[in-house]
Amino acid sequence: MSETADVYQHPDRNLALELVRATEGAAIRAVPFIGKGDKNAADGAAVDAMRKFLATVNFRGTVVIGEGEKDEAPMLYNGEVVGNGEGPECDIAVDPIDGTSLTAAGRPNAISMIAASDRGTMLDASSVFYMDKLVCGAAGIGVVDIRQPVGENLRALAKALDKPVGELKVAILDRPRHAGLIAQVHEAGAGTSLLLDGDVAGGIDAASRDGQFDMCLGIGGSPEGVATACAVKALGGLIQTVLAPKDDEEKQHGIDAGLKFDHVYTADELVGGDNTFFVATGVTDGSLVSGVHQLGPIIRTESIILRGRSGTIRRVSADHLVEKWLG
């Protein structure tokens, strides 16, 4: 029996279909703080909602990537165990709001997200905060390499996609550290789309078959890189990362934690196996998902649900009664 037939004959549980309630709750609770200038208040409301919903899920999840250490983040801290204690043991990465500054400013592309995989499979890169990343779709597999010059990668990807380099669009976080990278993209003839925040959404878009971006490049958070890998596995795309410590002290912390430097981490090294889940709900409107909207007595959310094992991509639009949330 083929693997496809086996999945059909013996369907198993998609944990992400339960986790989406937690991202929906976090996104809805963040709405009153959109555009109000207080990112900590928005994050606090989202964290509280996500934690409460996670407690109802039939699993035992260990937060590998969370809001920091226990003393710094009383909820959803690294090492915290969530869920009702029954069902599978999992590693999870959580970000109640990826884009707190975007939310506070009322800007697009803020999401609430959770990634999950089997226990012990998710790379704990928390000792090194940043990593250099390259994310693209399936056309880039065996074609691009993060160790190659940017222009060379763009020309190779353009050839694989059968389109001119001038039509490529590259997503990059808008940070001073990326001035040289942006210049290299422009010198190659490609265009850039500068992200104010949230390179998880940018990476997922670049790996998607119908995304706006052809590639996502640059230095961003290591936790976000691991979470993105969970999504990329379902999308069949490519992600490569190289740790980027800010100084020798941080590099030594990484070495002590068993991390490798001058090494290209692939999707399988960032998260092992194919039993990966990724779910994100829009907080504000963005290229990946729409944000939360109140339509009279209804609160409407949009989420994307990705599963590595089946390669399934689901988009879920849900209507919630306002009276149940705000009454």
My answer on whether 165 and 93 are in the same domain is no
- Residue list, annotated binding site for substrate: 98-100, 130, 175-177, 197-199, 221
194-211, pLDDT tens digit by residue?
A: 998 878 999 999 999 888
pLDDT for res 1: 44
* CATH number for the domain that contains residue 260: 3.40.190.90
Helix (H, G, I), strand (E, B) or coil at 279: strand
My answer on whether 167 and 35 are in the same domain is no
Distances (CA, A) of 157 to 14, 33, 187: 33, 40, 16
* CATH number for the domain that contains residue 94: 3.30.540.10
The fraction of the chain above a pLDDT of 70, given in percent, is 93
Question: What residues form DSSP beta bridges with 82?
Answer: 61
Low-confidence ranges of the chain (pLDDT < 50): 1-2, 7-11, 70-71, 73
Helix (H, G, I), strand (E, B) or coil at 177: helix
CA gyration radius, the chain: 19
- With a CB cutoff of 8 Å and minimum separation 6, the contacts of 230 are 93, 115, 116, 117, 122, 271, 276, 277, 278, 306, 308
pLDDT for res 76: 77
Place of tokens 């069949």: 236
Domains of the chain: total: 2
My answer on whether 231 and 202 are in the same domain is yes
My answer on whether 262 and 306 are in the same domain is no
My answer on whether 198 and 279 are in the same domain is no
Q: What is the pTM of this model?
A: 0.89
Which residue among 233, 255, 270 closes a domain?
270
228-257, pLDDT tens digit by residue?
A: 999 999 999 999 999 999 999 999 999 999
List the domain range (segments joined by +) for residue 78: 3-122+275-324
- Residue list, annotated binding site for Mn(2+): 43, 67, 95, 98, 224
295-313, pLDDT tens digit by residue?
A: 999 999 999 999 998 888 9
- With a CB cutoff of 8 Å and minimum separation 6, the contacts of 311 are 234, 235, 236
My answer on whether 109 and 142 are in the same domain is no
Task: Report CA 218 to chain centroid distance, whole Å.
Answer: 15
The closest of 36, 29, 78 to 325, measured between CA atoms, is 29
Which residue among 270, 290, 305 closes a domain?
270
My answer on whether 78 and 202 are in the same domain is no
- Residue list, annotated binding site: 43, 67, 95, 98-100, 130, 175-177, 197-199, 221, 224
User: What is the arrangement of strands in the sheet containing 130-136, beginning at the earlier edge strand?
Assistant: 191-195, 169-173, 215-221, 130-136, 238-243, 265-266
pLDDT for res 8: 46
pLDDT for res 9: 43
My answer on whether 12 and 68 are in the same domain is yes
My answer on whether 91 and 177 are in the same domain is no
pLDDT for res 14: 79
